[in-house]
């Protein structure tokens, strides 16, 4: 990639060297900055205009206070420091959203690309932490932009970035599609194998349960309560590991990190032993279930259950089955509550009376072993694809950063569709 003939010190550590004829200018001299006068209470689900709030989501509203090109960033919230380019048109925006407009010396899309790649990281550096609580107006006004002096050269840089990022985004989308297909294949493989077994040549019968369908004739279909018992044993002490139920399984909680919600005392937590099942039955959208490899305690609000002592089955088989019931929304269909508030719960009687397939134990073990092997293979492929996606995202950042800080020279041919 071609470089400029001469460079100079930019005077800004994180920008480094700049082409000799480029400028560094604070944002206050490149555009006007305004904030909105609306709050989220003003939004309308079927509003006529886009409404920019403090999150990456774009909502709707029936008013507009701006008509034109703008670069937007939230002053606080999850969107703080992240920028959006609104090309042209009518919109409204939140009172804690900054609207950069009336561009001078720099075209809007060049400013957007420069800030997209550099602004959030610089705010993090200034705050010396990984999250941004808020962006004060002077912080935004004094942010330094490096830029070519001519609009024509800025347009060349923008066209080059547009073309490169479009190609990269296409590759990322293709990889993401592959990962989604593999994940869907894994879910379907688990569901089909758990409910129909490995031998597709055996005779089958109707299970009487819609989500199970046909099962091998020699399988049983039985209620949860005939295999499992719910146990709630309050430990009363604080000398066991505290276990959290995540969608990656049961995890030992790090009480020293102070992350997340911490209880004042864990003495009223319930016992979880190795091979006990623990599930978050309070949230059937984002909750999970796992078979514990740990001795520990967990929230008294969770459900802990185990095989009846004289009815031992294969733990891994039923772990796959219950996790499938989350993935396929089978538990969700049986739930009650207020789902939009994350309170869609599976009551104990519904759980205990739901019907489950029950193959012979040796078949359960064969099915679990087969799924262990296959899911490891599929997960490995998905991991490789996600690694490629991350590398492409990093390359995308490098392309933008190097172009907007003059580390590469973009010719007119490169900028206009070569």
Structure tokens given for 58: 């774009």
Q: pLDDT value at position 341? A: 52
pLDDT band with cut points at 50, 70 and 90 for residue 125: low
Q: pLDDT value at position 219? A: 97
Q: Which domains does the chain have, with CATH numbers?
A: 23-147 (3.90.220.20), 220-358 (3.90.220.20)
Structure tokens given for 62: 């029936």
Give the length of the chain: 418
Tens digit of each residue's pLDDT (9 = 90 or more) over 213-271: 999 999 999 999 999 999 999 988 888 899 999 888 899 987 665 454 555 668 889 99
Rounded distance between C-alpha atoms, residue 310 and residue 132, angstroms: 55
Tens digit of each residue's pLDDT (9 = 90 or more) over 53-107: 888 788 999 999 999 999 999 888 877 888 999 988 899 999 999 999 999 999 9
Residues 6+ apart with CB under 8 A from 361: 312, 313, 314
Q: pLDDT value at position 263? A: 57
pLDDT band with cut points at 50, 70 and 90 for residue 325: very high
Rounded distance between C-alpha atoms, residue 260 and residue 240, angstroms: 19
Query: Residue 145: which of 116, 169, 166 has the closest Cα?
Result: 116
Q: pLDDT value at position 414? A: 57
Structure tokens given for 196: 């129909």
pLDDT band with cut points at 50, 70 and 90 for residue 127: low
- Calculate the CA 173 to chain-centre distance: 15
Task: Say if pTM beats, i.e. exceeds, 0.75.
Answer: yes
Rounded distance between C-alpha atoms, residue 342 and residue 168, angstroms: 36
Q: Residue 351 — φ and ψ, nearest 5°?
A: -65, -45
Beta bridge partner(s), residue 344: 337
Dihedral of CA 295/323/348/264: which sign? positive
SS3 of residue 66 by DSSP: strand
Range of weakest confidence among 193-202, 213-222, 332-341, 366-375: 332-341
Q: pLDDT value at position 55? A: 81
Q: pLDDT value at position 132? A: 53
């Amino acid at each position: 990639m071609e470089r400029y003939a001469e460079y100079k010190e930019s005077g800004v550590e994180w920008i480094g060297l700049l082409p000799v004829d480029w400028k560094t200018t604070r944002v206050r001299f490149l555009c006007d900055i305004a904030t909105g006068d609306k709050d989220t209470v003003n939004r309308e689900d079927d509003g006529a205009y886009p409404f920019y709030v403090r999150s990456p989501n774009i909502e709707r509203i029936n008013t507009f206070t701006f008509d034109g090109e703008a670069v937007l960033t939230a002053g606080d919230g999850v969107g703080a420091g992240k920028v959006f380019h609104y090309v042209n048109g009518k919109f409204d925006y939140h009172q804690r959203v900054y609207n950069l407009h009336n561009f001078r010396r720099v075209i809007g899309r060049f400013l957007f690309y420069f800030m997209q790649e550099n602004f959030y990281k610089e705010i993090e550096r200034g705050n010396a932490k990984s999250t941004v609580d808020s962006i004060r107006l002077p912080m935004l006004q004094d942010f330094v932009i490096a830029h070519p002096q001519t609009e024509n050269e800025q347009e060349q840089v923008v066209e080059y970035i547009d073309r490169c990022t479009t190609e990269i985004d296409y590759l990322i989308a293709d990889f993401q599609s592959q990962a989604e297909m593999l994940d869907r294949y894994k879910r379907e493989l688990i569901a089909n194998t758990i409910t129909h077994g490995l031998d597709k040549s055996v005779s089958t019968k109707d299970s009487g349960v819609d989500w199970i369908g046909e099962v091998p004739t020699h399988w049983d279909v039985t209620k949860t309560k005939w295999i499992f018992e719910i146990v709630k044993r309050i430990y009363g002490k604080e000398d066991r590991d505290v276990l959290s139920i995540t969608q990656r399984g049961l995890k030992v909680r790090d009480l020293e990190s102070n992350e997340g919600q911490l209880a004042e005392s864990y003495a009223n937590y319930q016992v979880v032993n190795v091979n006990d099942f623990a599930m978050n039955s309070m949230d059937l959208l984002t909750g999970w279930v796992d078979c514990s490899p740990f001795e520990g305690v967990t929230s008294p609000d969770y459900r802990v259950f185990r095989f009846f002592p004289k009815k031992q089955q294969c733990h891994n088989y039923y772990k796959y089955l219950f996790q499938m019931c989350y993935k396929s929304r089978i538990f969700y269909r049986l739930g009650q509550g207020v789902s939009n508030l994350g309170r869609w719960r599976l009551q104990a009687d519904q759980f205990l009376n739901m019907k489950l397939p029950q193959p012979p134990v040796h078949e359960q073990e064969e099915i679990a072993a087969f799924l262990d092997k296959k899911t490891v293979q599929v997960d490995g492929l998905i991991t490789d694809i996600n690694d490629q996606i991350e590398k492409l995202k990093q390359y995308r950042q490098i392309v933008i950063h190097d172009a907007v800080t003059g580390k590469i020279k973009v010719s007119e041919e490169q900028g206009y569709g070569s």
